[in-house]
Amino acid sequence: MEDLSAIVVFTRVVEAKSFAAAAPQLGMTASGVSRAIARLEAQLGVRLLSRTTRALRTTDEGAAFYERCRDILADLNEATEAIGGARRRPEGRLRVATSVAVGRACLMPHLPDFRTRYPDIRLELLMSDRPTDLIETGADCAIRVGDLADSSLIARRIGEMRVLTCAAPGYLQRHGVPASIDDLDGHSCIGYTKQPNGRPLAWMFDTPDGRVNVDVDARLTINDAEAVLQAGVMGLGLIQTGDYLANSYLQRGELRLVLPDVIAAGPPVWIVYPQRRHLSARVQVFIDWMTALFASCAGFVCPFERPRLAAAS
């Protein structure tokens, strides 16, 4: 191809998910965008996009080509930034995908600090509880919790959760405080499920004898982590939740920590991003900022001696 315009058009179409949405961003008409993609496909001899009346998706060849195109454009931006001295002050759009719970509980409270440090970065948060395809959404990186599926993405572990068992003070006054894992049998427990069959996740505890998983008799099961937290605050029963979610409620006294001696280490937290030779300065500073944030955050990888998480008595 004679210039970079073709790959700019292609990458913008993939990220916008339609010719019509990409057209105004490119200063073109939708028909002009369609013709540009058709010429590119003819030049390459492969179909890059699968078009239906309801969706526009990359083919396998298109997905691979998109990754290469992103690398080319990223390298070009890096070269431009280096020549212009902008690497000392990262700027431009940074699109980050994350779950709703992590976005609200972990990122939102600390965004003023990020904005102060990097005022020229235009941050876009894509918060969804559904798995996010970085290619389809055009995300530069994503925050993910738990075990990762095999993929071509590069993963950097930045922390891990702790799993806390909590209840509202009113509930504990009415029903008593469980003194051991066995005492859970006499309590109303609120389950959390991520499974299509609705079965709640087992509760986890780390004891001197090792990890113990307990299938609690959940009187209420919810498939949203924040709703589970709210049910606990309302006094509907015991809950088990990530410390990053519970911390502020514990500090305000709306929840109380129970079974503090068997708090379990929960799932790891990762930042994932596409493979490329060079990370943009925007992505690199965000990764470094998140790593430092999670290392210092009370809800992640910190000593258990946290006075504000006072156990119920």
Read off the pLDDT of residues 109-156 as tens digits, 9 standing for 90 and up: 899 999 999 999 999 999 987 777 887 788 889 998 887 876 778 888
136 part of a folded domain? yes
Q: Of 56, 84, 112, which residue sits at a domain end?
A: 84
User: Same domain for 80 and 97?
Assistant: no
Top-ranked range on mean pLDDT: pick from 60-74, 225-239, 240-254, 262-276: 225-239
Average pLDDT over residues 78-86: 63
| pLDDT of 303 | 34
Read off the pLDDT of residues 159-169 as tens digits, 9 standing for 90 and up: 888 899 999 99
171 part of a folded domain? yes
CATH number at residue 246: 3.40.190.10
Please report, to the nearest 10 degrees, the dihedral formed by the alpha carbons of residues 280, 78, 17, 46 taken in order. Answer: -120
**Side-chain-side CA neighbours of residue 195 (13 Å):** 10
| pLDDT of 81 | 63
127: containing domain: 92-160+267-298
Q: Are 33 and 22 in contact (CB under 8 A)?
A: yes
Amino acid (one-letter) located at 183: D
Band the pLDDT of 278: cuts 50, 70, 90: low
34 part of a folded domain? yes
Lowest mean pLDDT among 26-40, 47-61, 214-228, 257-271: 47-61
Lowest mean pLDDT among 7-11, 55-59, 183-187: 55-59
Of 230, 216, 221, nearest in space to 196 by CA: 221
Band the pLDDT of 297: cuts 50, 70, 90: low
Output the CA angle 234-216-149, nearest 5 degrees: 95
CATH number at residue 10: 1.10.10.10
* pLDDT value at 309 more than 90: no
- Per DSSP, the residues of 229-293 read HHHHHTTSSBEEEEHHHHHHHHHHTSSEEE-GGGPEEEEEEEEEE---SS--HHHHHHHHHHHHH
313 part of a folded domain? no
Structural Rg of the chain based on CA atoms: 24
User: Same domain for 113 and 206?
Assistant: no
- Please state, rounded to an integer, the average pLDDT across all residues of the chain: 84
The maximal CA–CA distance of the chain, rounded, in angstroms, is 75
Read off the pLDDT of residues 189-227 as tens digits, 9 standing for 90 and up: 999 987 777 788 899 999 999 999 999 889 899 988 889
| pLDDT of 137 | 80
Q: Of 36, 55, 84, which residue sits at a domain end?
A: 84
| pLDDT of 300 | 47
308 part of a folded domain? no
User: Same domain for 156 and 166?
Assistant: no
User: Same domain for 261 and 271?
Assistant: no
Of 98, 217, 224, 211, nearest in space to 163 by CA: 211
- Whole-number percent of the chain with pLDDT over 90: 36
Average pLDDT over residues 298-302: 45
User: Same domain for 275 and 156?
Assistant: yes
Spacing of C-alpha 125 from chain mean position:
10
How many whole angstroms separate alpha carbon 85 and alpha carbon 185? 63
If one counts the domains in the chain, the total is 3
User: Same domain for 168 and 261?
Assistant: yes
